[in-house]
Chains A and B, each alone.
Chain A
Amino acid sequence: LAKTTQPISMDSYEGQEVNITCSHNNIATNDYITWYQQFPSQGPRFIIQGYKTKVTNEVASLFIPADRKSSTLSLPRVSLSDTAVYYCLVGPGTALIFGKGTTLSVSS
């Protein structure tokens, strides 16, 4: 499984755009990149998944460069309710490793 590296924590203010970058230098050809969000005292929740280029849904955008060695989760105009831990996972899907994630703190 490809190892991922992401910042331990990030701070932001309401209304700002937040970009969280994940490095995965040894990503394999058949690996997908998946992001999850976890609020305190809850299980993680799927946000977005991509293979290459750009993916967008109602919650976030995922940017993946051509070499696929990194990816960036973009959260537009964050609010206080976006305070959570964000996990970047890379793999074919059977048993993905979560790691410690990035703790995003949004302030007013």
Chain B
Amino acid sequence: NAGVTQTPKFRVLKTGQSMTLLCAQDMNHEYMYWYRQDPGMGLRLIHYSVGEGTTAKGEVPDGYNVSRLKKQNFLLGLESAAPSQTSVYFCASRGTSGKGGREPQYFGPGTRLLVL
């Protein structure tokens, strides 16, 4: 199992450019998440999905869009990148045990994005 993978690992964008970050998981997990992490800020939830075809907003959704067309993939899009979106982006997935919040989240290695 590869677990959770993220593509790309690093990217430099110019202000106003668009890009899509890809997250893939091979654990057949229902839930998937996108976080951003800035120095001294911990992880902040951008969007998440509780199943194929569904998405929901997290703490900081503005400026981002997501799609979950396939169960194993969760895409994060930046339509018009801004310097404030310079950050490290982490994707995570979680299974469901039917027993409440007992399943842990598994994280990908992160994508470093620099917006100039």
Give Cα A99 to B37, complex, Å: 10
Give Cα A46 to B104, complex, Å: 6
The answer to whether A45 touches B101, judged by C-beta atoms less than 8 angstroms apart, is no
For residue A6, give the distance in angstroms from its CB to the closest CB of chain B: 11
CB-CB under 8 A from A45, the residues of chain B are 107
* A residues at B contact (CB < 8 Å): 30-32, 34, 36, 41-46, 49, 85, 87, 91-101
* Residue of A36, A43, A100 contacting most chain B CB atoms (<10 Å): A43
CB-CB under 8 A from B102, the residues of chain A are 32, 49, 93
From B40, B58, B100, B110, give the contact of A95 (CB < 8 A): B58
CB-CB under 8 A from B50, the residues of chain A are 94
* B residues at A contact (CB < 8 Å): 4, 31, 33, 35, 40-45, 48, 50, 56, 58-59, 90, 92, 94, 100-110
The answer to whether A95 touches B101, judged by C-beta atoms less than 8 angstroms apart, is no
Say what secondary structure dominates the interface of chain B: strand
Give Cα A31 to B102, complex, Å: 10
Say what secondary structure dominates the interface of chain A: loop
- CB closest residue in chain B, given A32: B101
The answer to whether A97 touches B45, judged by C-beta atoms less than 8 angstroms apart, is yes
**14 contacting pairs across A/B (C-beta < 8 A):** A31-B101, A42-B109, A42-B110, A43-B92, A43-B109, A44-B90, A44-B105, A46-B105, A49-B102, A87-B42, A91-B101, A94-B101, A98-B45, A100-B41
**Given the contacts A32-B102, A34-B101, A49-B104, A94 and B31 also touching, CB distance less than 8 Å:** yes
CB-CB under 8 A from A97, the residues of chain B are 45, 59
The answer to whether B35 touches A92, judged by C-beta atoms less than 8 angstroms apart, is no
Give Cα A49 to B4, complex, Å: 21
For residue A39, give the distance in angstroms from its CB to the closest CB of chain B: 11
